[in-house]
């Protein structure tokens, strides 16, 4: 399910999925470097994560056409197995792009994930939503093979 809305601060999107995995497995996949690299289309060995408020992360992502681009950022909120607020550094901007990931147990083997982000323009929102859709697809496939 995807919802879109225009806020007074920018353009936002929210993506929601039900994943066939326990909350702890989803959290671990999103916050541990090696599994994250496997499902997020990152260059192997490029992911570093210090998952705590104020902790930094970095990864080099691979685009569908084979290009590579480095990403960096930090964590502003970490509530294990429930909520992760991630900032991503954006060249030329003073403030990071902020993505919120929320997890909720649906059953012992199902997790509801909600990912939301607000962007400055409709174009930025569309690109961010496309990237997040790819991330959720990769996470879904990874969790199917990991369980």
- CATH classification code of 2-146: 3.30.530.20
The pLDDT score that the predictor gives to residue 6 is: 42
Q: Which residue ranges make up each domain of the chain?
A: 2-146
Distance CA 27, CA 58 (A): 18
Residue 89, C-beta contacts closer than 8 angstroms, at least 6 positions apart = 71, 72, 73, 96
* 109-135 per-position pLDDT tens digit: 999 999 999 888 899 899 899 989 999
Confidence of residue 7 (pLDDT cuts 50, 70, 90): very low
The terminus-to-terminus CA distance of the chain in angstroms comes to: 24
Q: Which helix (H) or strand (E) holds 46?
A: none
CA neighbor of 13 nearest in space, from 105, 111, 127, 103: 127
In the numeric block, which tokens belong to residue 107? 């059953």
Confidence of residue 9 (pLDDT cuts 50, 70, 90): low
Q: What is the pTM of this model?
A: 0.88
The pLDDT score that the predictor gives to residue 4 is: 44
């Amino acid at each position: 399910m995807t919802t879109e809305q225009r806020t007074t601060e920018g353009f936002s999107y929210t993506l929601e999925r039900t994943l066939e995995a326990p909350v702890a497995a989803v959290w671990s996949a999103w916050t541990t470097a090696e599994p994250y690299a496997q499902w997020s289309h990152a260059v192997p060995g490029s992911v570093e994560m210090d998952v705590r408020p104020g902790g930094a992360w970095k990864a080099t992502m691979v685009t569908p056409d084979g290009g590579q681009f480095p990403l960096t950022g930090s964590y502003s909120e970490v509530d294990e197995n429930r909520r992760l607020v991630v900032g991503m550094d954006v060249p030329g901007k003073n403030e990071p792009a902020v993505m919120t990931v929320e997890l909720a147990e649906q059953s012992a083997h199902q997790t509801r994930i909600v990912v939301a982000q607000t962007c400055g323009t409709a174009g930025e929102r569309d690109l961010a939503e496309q990237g997040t859709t790819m991330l959720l697809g990769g996470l879904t496939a990874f969790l199917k093979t990991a369980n």
